[in-house]
Amino acid sequence: NPIVLDLAYNSIDFPSIENRM
Amino acid sequence: TVEDLFTSLNRHIHRSEYEQLSEYDQVVKLADQVLAVVPGDEDAIRCKVVALIKDDKIDDAVKVIDVFAKKFPVDFGFLKAYCLYRQNKLDEALASLKGLEKDSATMLLESQILFRQGKMDASVDIYQKLQKSKIESLEINLVAGLVSAGRASE
Ligand SMILES: [K+]
């Protein structure tokens, strides 16, 4: 069977912390 | 100060985009330093969990999520669902997706879970709905789903 790419992984991002600096 | 720690965190997060895996260790370390001062800090815990996931330490990420969620009212939502998927706990992963807003991230994950469960038509359905969203490499998964569903002619 063909495999699927883990495209969901690309949606995982660090939170924006600019306002905490 | 906490502000200094977040400034360092930000620097290491940006460096990690240029693929130095060791940066993720630094992010975890700095996040822990923030959490030592502010135990329920949501930004810090999210930085830590994301760094662990990106460093492929999925079991560690789940442990951190579970311990934290017992003490503080933070919903890890998609991150938890994604970790469960990576641990091949597919029913649990689907269940934790249920309460989340439908967006391209949750739809992609749902489709990948359904694919692993052998529910090819349902998986393909989601990719077809996402086609207008211009997601990179989506067609690779769509074709894989169609072939697996015996619908290669489509
Ligand atoms: K990276």
Final residue before a domain boundary, out of B44, B74, B104: B74
pLDDT at A21: 94
What is the domain count for chain B?
2
Question: What phi, psi does B136 have (nearest 5°)?
Answer: -60, 135
Measured in Å, residue B55 CA sits from the centre of ligand 1 at 8
Distances (CA, A) of B8 to A21, B15, B20, B92: 9, 11, 15, 35
Mean per-residue pLDDT, B95-109? 95
CB contact under 8 Å between B46 and A11, yes or no, is no
Q: Cα–Cα distances in Å, from B28 out to A9, B47, B52, B58?
A: 19, 7, 7, 14
Q: How far is CA B31 from CA B67, B72, B102, in A?
A: 15, 16, 29
Chain A contact present for B136, CB below 8 A: yes
Are the beta carbons of A20 and B3 separated by less than 8 Å?
A: yes
Is B147 touching A (CB cutoff 8 A)? yes
Q: What is the pLDDT of residue B20?
A: 74
The pLDDT value recorded for residue A2 is 80
Confidence at A9, pLDDT banded by 50, 70, 90: very high
* Single residue among B12, B47, B74 that ends a domain in this structure: B74
Q: How far apart are CA B61 and CA B51, in angstroms?
A: 9
Residues of B whose CB is below 8 A from A18: 10
Does residue B102 sit in the same domain as residue B69? Answer: no
Residue B21: pLDDT over 80 = no
Q: Are residues B25 and B1 in the same domain?
A: yes
Q: Are residues B69 and B138 in the same domain?
A: no
Q: What is the pLDDT of residue B154?
A: 86
Contact flag A8-B112 (C-beta cutoff 8 Å):
yes
- Whether residues B41 and B93 share a domain: the answer is no
Per-residue pLDDT, averaged over B146-150, amounts to 93
User: For the residues A15-21, what does the mean pLDDT come to?
Assistant: 96
Q: What distance in Å separates the CA atoms of residue B84 and residue B65, rounded to the nearest whole number?
A: 11
Residue B108: which of A1, A8, A15 has the nearest Cβ? A8
B26 and B89 assigned to the same domain: no
pTM confidence score = 0.93
Contact call for residues B71 and B39 (beta carbons, < 8 A): yes
pLDDT, mean over chain B: 95
Closest residue to B47, CB basis, from A1, A7, A17? A17
DSSP-derived 3-state class of residue B12: helix
Domain boundary among B41, B57, B74: B74
pLDDT digits (tens, 9 = 90+) for B51-75: 999 999 999 999 999 999 999 999 9
Q: Print the domain residue range for B148.
A: 81-154
pLDDT at A1 over 70: no
**Percent of chain B clearing pLDDT 70 (strictly above):** 99
Give the pLDDT of residue B115: 95
CA atoms within 13 A on the CB side of B122: 12
CA distance linking residue B31 with residue B47, whole number of Å: 7
